[in-house]
Structures are given as structure tokens and as C-alpha cells.
Chain A
């Protein structure tokens, strides 16, 4: 804990140094975008907000959402709220909203017709509680991507797979060439997320919703989910000995061709971009693992804590407006590798992978993701289970499925 507070303190002091002399209102914005691609994207938001005459005070918190959220929450509940903060929209900030700590944005939303511009509509649902809107979605991030290194497959002498099954079949060839078939970092959410992706791809959208939305424990213990666990078993065998912790380190294994592929959300794309790689030529992306081309409408959103200072409250409105501005949306999402939240923006500069995503989005093949469906408590239990499952090769598939069904049964 001491370590995390220290990181937070460091982040805040660096932010203060950049603040400089500013006549306009300073608004501190906290977020956990710290990897190369993410930092480049957040700089676009800051630039757009500064252009309105206000000042973006960057409060980056290193160490991914799991580390950052407790710090953000304790600042808000502890009476030292920031001007705006990132969360994944859905249920992460649910109780903060219920406790009246977050600002109601409904008036602004009606004035600027958010319900009309935000596409797909389900995005705003994640921001809505009891008919009131509490956050501004800034991007659509979907987990269901498989990133493959073309160089690695070339070295192994097998064609780049077109779906998960071909990939599993190619694993022995990769291994023989001294390449790690699949990279899964040690952070618990990576193993848990990879399983969710397999559930949506191998099991299908209906199975995913039956487990996570209806919380059907009997179904989760049944034969259809057993197939998914079989796939997860393949995945953990392929991911054995990855020996890295952070997701971007795992992505880096794919970029450098040391690993064949990685199951990771589209935020990984920013890393490929920073490394100067081209989609289709240097790496291949398969949405829905090439089996079930659906995109989850998870993503990032900004929440605005209730502030007393009227100047800052006004600046909050300006920021909310700026975040949804078409120009900001394009600049930010191109750097971030995510999809924009409005359908009316022009993404000519989008690369192959983003175009695949946009196509799926345009077809309306969307589904909700775990951030919207499950509480943090359930997510954490899932993370504990799957990080153990991926690390412990002798844990049986049956045993894991039984425990998974129990978690689903007690989920809220």
C-alpha cells in the first residue's frame, strides 16, 4: 500500500510541476494511462482541453486500473476529489454515484443531445443510473482480440492462423522454433480477461450472457462451458513460462517476435503503433479470435466528482464537452487504438485492425462486457481463480470449472 501511495504522490508532484502559471481554471484529471501508446493518446485530450483556455493537470497513476482505482476512490471518499477521473463505465463507480459523490450530467447531456450522438446506444447505459447520466464515455475498448506476430509464424514455417483453432494447432511448430506460443502476463486480470474472451469466442455470445448476465450457475457447470475450459487449458499450456508481469511487456514479446500471439484488448494496438509496426504486414489481428466477430462495448469513461468551487464545476462542463468533440474523438482514438464513441466521425486514418472493428460496430454486432455485468467483487474472485489456473498446470479443468460455477452462483 505504501508503494502505491508513493506512486500516487509521485504522479501528483510531477503533474504539479507541469502546471506552471495558468490564469484559467486548473482541472486535475486522474487516469491510469501510462504505457507509451496510452500516454500519447491522453496528451491529445490534454491538448484539446488546454485549447479551450483551461488547464489540464495530469494526474496519471502508474500500475494499471487495479492499482489506480483504489487511490481514486479513497481520494473521492476522503474528501479530496479531483476535477475528473477515468473509470471503466459500468459498475466500478456505482456506489460512488449512489452515495451522491458524483456529479449528475443529465442537464448537459440533454442540452448537447448525447443520446443522439453516442453510438452504440448501450454505451450511455453504462453511464446511466436511475435515469440519470453520470459519465462521459470516451472510447470503445473491446477485449476480444488475438494479436499475432507475422515474423514468429514465418520463422516457425507455418502460415499465420485465421482463427483460434488453427492457432492452437500451430502451437507445437512455434514451440519447436523456440518461440513462446502465447504470451499471458502475470497480472491476474490478464488471465481472467483471456478466459472471458474464450468464453465469448468459443462458447458464443449467448453462452457469455447466460453466464455473466443471468448468472446461471448450472449452465456454467455444464458441458458448453466445459468446452471453453478445454480451450482455456490449451491456452495455459501455450502460455506456460511466459515469465513477464505487465500486459505491455507481454505485448512486447509479440512485437519482437519472441511470442506467437497474445489475447489482449485493442489497447495493445497502441503499443504496436508506438513500435512502428503496420497492421497486416508486421502483425495480424483477429477480432473475436476469428470465431465470433462481436465487439464488446466496454471502454473508458470520465466521471466528474461533485465539486464546491463553481469555477471548477464550469471547467468540468467544458471538459465533458471537449471529450465528445468529433476532433478530439478522432485524435484520441487513433493514438489509443480504440474505437470512437460517435458514429459520425471520419476515421480515414484508421489502420486495418481499427477498420475491422469499425465494420463490426457498423453491423451492430455488439455485446456488453464484464465491467457492466459483474461487480468488482465477483471480478476479483474470477481473477484469483484464473491467475491460479494459468499458473498452476496441475490444477484440473474439472476442478476449475466447479469453482467457476460457484463464483457465478454467488455473483452479484
Chain B
């Protein structure tokens, strides 16, 4: 840019623009293109192979009349709300406790973060054994003398989803704790000093000063947790395979089962379109609030 005249807008930062072409193409072709293709074929009666014979909304009518799909949605709601709540609360509490300048902080951090190094498949299998009534928690407590102790979530239809929630929290809260801890460390020491000078109790400082200041961290965390909730699949497969009966089914598993086991692509696509729709319903208002309107600093 030795010439003094202003270069055209298009060629500014040319290198950066060229470098991002592959990613732009990937996003457009694979994400947007793939999604559009899926939505289009969800209006067809495709079976094993995709075919373009349109049947209107038939796949959707069927989807919303199937008990298994309704159970899946209900499970996702229960799992989603509770996992969001507990991940945030437990993650933040652990982070706040670790932030009290305790000894062996590194050790504790490693212990809490360690489950995150395991895949959902391994987590699922580990908790399948831990929750198994024959040799898991129930057997251990009973062998200690409480003969009538009963804790058997994986074989009880009404509470099986909580058994999955426990495993998911065990695996995921470590990461949330680390994110929160990073957020807490980013708060200026002077704020704490000022709060102490004003005589504000610690819990109030956390609740009314620190947490509002950690807004960006909370938003990142929220996105990570929410993405994990919608795509939950492998944990359920490893832990219960959707059982007993259909009591722990989740939408992603419905999509997979109907696309591949039932050889009914149309039905699977309709279900995945509904999942996409639910994500959009959550994301759009939030993105509008976050990025639309006035620019924040």
C-alpha cells in the first residue's frame, strides 16, 4: 500500500479474505447446504435412499403422533433444564470455593476436570455399572448394613433420565468450573478490596458485583452447555440404549434410529428438522438481543 490513493474496499485485507474462503465455503456448503437439503427431503417419503416424491407435512404429522418422539422431547426438556441449572450452580460454587486461595488448588482442579477427559461412551459405561443394582451403589450401601436401601434409577422408567443426568453432570461440571474460575480470576483485585472497605459481605459481593461482571463468561458457558444438551446421544446409548422400554429416549437417538435402523430417511429428516427449529427458536431472540440493536463494548 505505498500508493497514497485509497484502495478499493474489496481488496482491503486481501490475505485475510483469501485465507477465510475455505471456511466460508465449508459453512455455506456443509452447514447451510446440508441443512437445506435435509429440510427439503423431510417433505418426501424417502425410505432407505433419498428420493424426491413429496408428501407434504405427512412426516411431521406422524412424528408428533408417535409416543416415542413425545417421550424424547419430554426427556430433553427435563434433562436440559436440570443440566443447565446444576452445571451452572455446581460449576460456579466449585470455582468460587477454589478461588479462596486454598492449598493444593492444582490438585483439586485436576480432580474436578478429570472426568471431562473421558468420552461420553466411557462415562456412560462407568455409570451404568455404578448405578447397576447388582454391584453398584445400591449393592455397596446394602452390604454396609442398610438392607432396604434402594437406588436403582436405570431400571425404573420414571426416574431413568435422572440417572443419565447424574452421569452428564459428573462429566461436564469440571469444564464449567474451569471456565468460571478463569472468569473469577479476570476480576480485578481492587474490586474485592473496594467491596471489603465498604463492608459488603462476601456472598453479596459475589451475587451483585462479581456475577454481573462475569456476563461474557456466563454467555460462553451457556452456549457450551446448551449445545451439549441438544446433541445428547452417546451417553444415552452407552448407559441405557433408551431403555427401559422407551423411557430414556432422546431426539437425536430418534433421528438416528429412524434414518438407519428403520430405513426411513424422511421420518429421520423431519425429526432432525424439528431439532434444528428448536435450536433456532432459542438462538434467534438471544442473538438479536446480543448482537442486534446498539453495539456493546
Contact = CB atoms under 8 A, between A and B. Distances in A.
Interface string A376-400: 1101110010011111100000000
Interface string A1-43: 1110000000000000000000000000000000000000000
Contacts of B233: 1
Contact of A95 (B48, B244, B247, B257): B48
Nearest to A4: B237
Nearest to B244: A391
B245 A377 contact: no
B234 interface: yes
Contact of B263 (A187, A376, A381, A388): A376
Contacts of B220: none
Interface string B246-283: 11000000001110111110010000000000000000
A381 B262 contact: yes
Contacts of B62: 410
Interface string B89-131: 0000000000000000000000000000001010000000000
B246 A388 contact: yes
A404 to B, nearest CB: 12
Interface string B141-180: 0000000000000010100000000000000000000000
B205 interface: no
Interface stretch (A69-77, A294-302, A310-318, A323-331): A69-77
Interface string A172-192: 000000000000001110000
Contacts of A249: none
Contact of A388 (B119, B241, B245): B245
Contacts of B214: none
A47 B258 CA distance: 37
A380 B257 contact: yes
A381 B256 CA distance: 14
User: Chain B CB within 10 Å — which of A377, A384, A387, A392 has the most?
Assistant: A384
A186 B244 contact: yes
| Binding site secondary structure of chain A | helix
A69 B261 contact: yes
A276 B28 CA distance: 60
Contacts of B290: none
Nearest to B262: A380
Contacts of B134: 243
B209 to A, nearest CB: 43
Interface in A44-99: 66, 69-70, 73-74, 77, 92, 94-96, 99
Contacts of A380: 257-258, 261-262, 264
A73 B260 contact: yes
Interface residues of A, number: 35
B80 interface: no
A213 interface: no
Contacts of B121: 2-3
Contact of A73 (B48, B238, B243, B245): B48
Contacts of A77: 49
Contact of B264 (A69, A70, A376, A387): A376
Contact of B261 (A243, A376, A391, A392): A376
A231 to B, nearest CB: 19
B258 A392 contact: no
A187 to B, nearest CB: 7
User: Chain B CB within 10 Å — which of A70, A74, A187 has the most?
Assistant: A70
A392 B157 contact: yes
Contact of B133 (A1, A92, A243): A243
Nearest to A407: B66
A384 B68 contact: yes
B262 A403 contact: no
B238 A3 contact: yes
A95 B237 CA distance: 27
B138 to A, nearest CB: 12
A391 B160 CA distance: 12
B241 A95 contact: no
B243 A387 contact: yes
A1 B247 contact: no
Interface string A236-248: 0000010101000
A1 B256 contact: yes
B241 A245 contact: yes
Contacts of A2: 119, 121, 234
B67 interface: yes
B237 to A, nearest CB: 6
B264 A377 contact: yes
A375 interface: yes
Given A95-B47, A380-B258, A391-B157, A186 B263 contact: no
A391 B257 contact: no
A73 B259 CA distance: 11
A403 B67 contact: yes
B72 to A, nearest CB: 11
B210 to A, nearest CB: 38
A42 B242 CA distance: 31
Q: Which 6 A-B pairs have the closest CB atoms?
A: A391-B245, A70-B260, A380-B262, A391-B244, A95-B48, A388-B245
Given A186-B244, A380-B264, 4 more contacts: A1-B256, A94-B48, A375-B47, A388-B67
Interface of A: 1-3, 66, 69-70, 73-74, 77, 92, 94-96, 99, 186-188, 241, 243, 245, 375-377, 379-381, 384, 387-392, 403, 410
Interface of B: 47-49, 62, 66-68, 119, 121, 133-134, 155, 157, 233-234, 237-238, 241-247, 256-258, 260-264, 267
16 contacts: A2-B119, A2-B234, A186-B241, A375-B263, A376-B48, A376-B263, A377-B47, A380-B264, A388-B246, A388-B247, A390-B245, A391-B157, A391-B245, A392-B157, A403-B67, A410-B62
